[in-house]
Amino acid sequence: MGAPDKRSLSGKLPARTYASSVPRQLKRYYGRGDFHFVTFSCYRRLPLLGSARRRDLFLSALERVRKQYRFAVLGYVVMPEHVHLLVSEPQEKNLSVVIKALKQGIARRLAHAATSQTELFSPPPHFWQARFYDFNVFTDRKRVEKLRYMHRNPVKRGLVASPELWRWSSYRNYCYGETGPVNLNLVFPAKWTVRKVSLK
């Protein structure tokens, strides 16, 4: 994703509205066994995930939803104003239901919290921008491309000097084999139909 207006990091409204970047007639393709690169943003790209506590809460919510709907998380990054996920299709319901449950759950928990002085005086009417972007990933090359994009995002944005320093991504799991707050469950029991994926 492109770099946001710098004013958004201070809690001020950016010059553009993010809603226009998610087509209203966007078609979603489920049931083909693809992985999905999912992107969704905070309301008007405000940095509503700008604190470590909020990003931690988001990852805890993601892990709960992963268990509830039984899907694989291959990679993730939580930025101050948006989130990228690389996931399988869930065993329960569909991906649209999963993302809705995830967004609603975290919004409820953080509905009355403030991340900036601006929010204290003019809290946004919503936590999340409506809808989400979904890209089907069906080749190993594209899977690696999306993982690299996610892991490099904090560095590109200037939040950290190297990807391992941003602890709200799956980078350290891939690079060092560390166990993070979200289980990258790449090997499934036989009754699960999602294909196995190598960490390498």
pLDDT, residue 33, reads 72
| 44, part of any domain | yes
Confidence (pTM) = 0.75
Query: What is the extent of the structural domain holding 109?
Result: 34-176
| 130, part of any domain | yes
| Number of domains present in the structure of the chain | 1
d(CA 80, CA 9): 8
90: CATH:
3.30.70.1290
With contact defined as beta carbons under 8 Å apart, do 179 and 173 qualify? yes
pLDDT, residue 128, reads 93
pLDDT, residue 32, reads 64
d(CA 169, CA 15): 28
pLDDT, residue 28, reads 54
pLDDT, residue 29, reads 54
| 15, part of any domain | no
Q: Which residues of the chain have pLDDT under 70?
A: 1-32, 111-123, 185-200
pLDDT, residue 18, reads 39
Give the pair of three-digit tokens for residue 11.
Answer: 């809690």
| 11, part of any domain | no
CA-angle at 46, arms to 41 and 48, nearest 5°: 80
pLDDT, residue 93, reads 86
| 5, part of any domain | no
| 98, part of any domain | yes
| 193, part of any domain | no
| 13, part of any domain | no
Q: 94, 120, 109, 82: which is closest to 34 by C-alpha?
A: 94
